[in-house]
Amino acid sequence: DGGITQSPKYLFRKEGQNVTLSCEQNLNHDAMYWYRQDPGQGLRLIYYSQIVNDFQKGDIAEGYSVSREKKESFPLTVTSAQKNPTAFYLCASSTQAGNTIYFGEGSWLTVV
Partner 1 sequence: KNEVEQSPQNLTAQEGEFITINCSYSVGISALHWLQQHPGGGIVSLFMLSSGKKKHGRLIATINIQEKHSSLHITASHPRDSAVYICAVSGSARQLTFGSGTQLTVLP
- Which residues in this chain contact partner 1 in the complex, by CB under 8 A? 31, 33, 35, 40-45, 48, 58, 88, 90, 92, 94, 97-106, 108
Q: Is 112 exposed, middle or buried (0-12, 13-18, 19+ CB in 10 A)?
A: exposed
The single-letter DSSP state of residue 70 is B
Q: How far is the CB of 99 from partner 1 (least distance, A)?
A: 6
Q: Which is nearer to partner 1, 54 or 80 (CB)?
A: 54
Q: Which is nearer to partner 1, 35 or 64 (CB)?
A: 35
Query: In angstroms, rounded to a whole number, what is the distance separating the alpha carbons of residues 37 and 69?
Result: 25
Q: How far is the CB of 68 from partner 1 (least distance, A)?
A: 16
Q: Which is nearer to partner 1, 22 or 80 (CB)?
A: 22
Q: Which is nearer to partner 1, 31 or 52 (CB)?
A: 31
Query: In angstroms, rounded to a whole number, what is the distance separating the alpha carbons of residues 84 and 68?
Result: 24
Q: How far is the CB of 16 from partner 1 (least distance, A)?
A: 26
Instruction: With beta carbons less than 8 A apart as the criterion, state whether 32 and 48 touch.
Output: yes
Q: How far is the CB of 17 from partner 1 (least distance, A)?
A: 23
Closest by Cα among 38, 48, 45, 49 to 85 = 38
